[in-house]
């Protein structure tokens, strides 16, 4: 990379070489020396600004279906009327969904898919490492992760039929 030495008045040197090495004055000066017009730089800036504004909204749209699936799983737990076993203690579905929502809120920055949600918020105790179980009626106790993955698969199949 070529270095451009530009004579600068010592009184203004902090604008070019101070803590803010990416200052606007330096950028303008270097682009002018490189023969790049200000109108071109303005165009590049406006395109960059448009991308910064609109691209995150596209990303949010892509995650909307994942969020719908997670909300479906939360509603499924709450409506299930099953007993949830966490660290050997039985909880009803309302208490269970409250606990799962709190864990989901805690791990939200790490949850990108419904599978992440199941693994981080609805599978095991973070304190003891013991798995969560679900018992519906007189049926067997099954791991909550398996129970939720089966429901997620059924939900996705239903969504595909609707499309």
Strand order in the sheet with 83-86: 89-91, 83-86, 133-135, 142-143
pLDDT tens-digit readout, 86-101? 999 999 999 999 999 9
Helix (H) / strand (E) element for 161: namely: helix 144-162
Beta bridge partner(s), residue 156: none
116 pLDDT higher than 50: yes
Which residue, among 116, 126, 120, 119, has the nearest Cα to 87 in the 3D structure?
126
**Entry pTM:** 0.62
Q: Tell me what pLDDT residue 58 has.
A: 42
Domain parsing of the chain, residue ranges: 13-49, 62-162
Let me know: does 70 contact 111? Beta carbons within 8 Å: yes
117-162: per-residue pLDDT in tens? Answer: 999 999 999 999 999 999 999 999 999 999 999 999 999 999 888 7
């Amino acid at each position: 990379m070529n270095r451009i030495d530009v004579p600068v008045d010592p009184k203004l040197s902090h604008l070019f070489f101070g803590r803010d090495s990416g200052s606007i004055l330096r950028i303008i000066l270097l682009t002018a020396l490189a023969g790049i017009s200000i109108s071109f730089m303005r165009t590049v800036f406006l395109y960059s600004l448009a991308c910064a504004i609109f691209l995150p909204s596209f990303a949010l749209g892509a995650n909307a279906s994942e969020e719908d699936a997670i909300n479906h799983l939360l509603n499924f737990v709450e409506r299930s009327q099953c007993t949830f076993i966490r660290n050997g203690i039985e909880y009803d579905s309302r208490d269970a969904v409250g606990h799962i929502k709190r864990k989901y809120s805690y791990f939200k920055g790490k949850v990108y898919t419904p599978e992440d949600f199941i693994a981080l918020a609805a599978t095991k105790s973070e304190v003891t490492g013991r798995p969560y179980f679900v018992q519906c009626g007189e049926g067997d106790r099954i791991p909550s992760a398996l129970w939720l993955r089966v429901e997620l698969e059924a939900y996705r199949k239903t969504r595909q039929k609707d499309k």
